[in-house]
Amino acid sequence: MKVNRRGFKPLDIKVISTLLAPRLQQRLKQLMHYKIFSTAEITTQFEALAKLNRGEQISQRNKAELAAFLIISASARLDNPLRSNDSIHKYLEQLISNKEAYEEIDDLMLKWMGGGPSYLENMYIGEMWDSPFTELNLKDLELNPEVKSLLDVGCGAGMDAIFLAKNYPNLKVMAIDANPWNIKFMLDNLGSARLPNLEIRWTEAKKFLSTLSPESLDRILFKDFYTSDHFSDYFKLCHRLLKKGGMICSQGVEPGFPTIIKSTLSQ
């Protein structure tokens, strides 16, 4: 079997699964528990990884998705592999034996970072899920017993979503973010916790919002939500999703945009 310059043998999917089992098994269970990836989706990513290690080609889109999967599935709880560039390379070397594929996936992981390597140090928060809401007053959400569902759009490292899911066990909380690094940090912050009322999605906001049923949510939260689009575009998508008495709560979005927007459905 051919050995590359790093001394790693090309891996097939069975070998990859065996290699990951002792190190990332808990992380993969976490991904499935919070419905970030299904078993089939995880298998698809392993198959893509195996193809690259065999020197086969996959589409650029699939490479970007694989890079995102590797970011999200990397558990800092085990050996904290992603706190520096050197650690990122070490993590990838365990999985990718093909030199060309290694360099391309490494580059894509950094591109997903957006802000460059310093983004890691700025975003890695650690266990702070008992922190109260700061600028957006928790009272503004009006979380009475009638409120059953909340969507956190652009959840970042997940501090607000985790706080709400932990402290309001009867509230179904769904958190979404388009940046896989943010989803990775959220899972790190959750650690070994399994919150049954929390779901996490790695997805683009507009795409996800368009899939939801009308009048299906009680609260929609936008906190420090950054977008190149006008926030009013998201408002139009969200307003149809609110139930009777529902609310959109925003902070840190477009200047002058109201903090609280209540449903226009009959009260």
Q: 208-237, pLDDT tens digit by residue?
A: 999 999 999 999 998 877 666 667 778 888
**What's the pLDDT at 255?**
58
pLDDT at 243: 92
pLDDT at 177 exceeding the cut of 90: yes
Average confidence score pLDDT of the chain? 77
**Per-residue pLDDT tens over the stretch 47-96:** 899 899 999 999 999 999 999 998 898 765 434 444 445 666 777 887 88
Neighbouring-strand partners of residue 172? 149
**Which residues does 120 contact at the CB level (< 8 Å), separation at least 6?**
82, 83, 84, 113, 181
Distance, CA of 184 to CA of 186 (rounded, Å)? 5
**Taking 90 as the threshold, does the pLDDT of residue 140 lie above it?**
no
SS3 assignment, position 16: helix
Mind listing the domains of the chain with CATH numbers?
13-123 (no CATH), 138-262 (3.40.50.150)
How confident is residue 3, by pLDDT bands cut at 50, 70 and 90? very low
Strands 198-202 and 172-177: parallel
Beta-carbon contacts of residue 178 (< 8 Å; ≥ 6 apart): 154, 202, 203, 204, 205
The Cα–Cα gap between 106 and 133 comes to 35
Residue 4, pLDDT > 70, answer no
Answer whether 0.85 is exceeded by the pTM: no
Inter-CA distances, 81 with 86, 89, 194, 257, Å: 9, 9, 22, 40
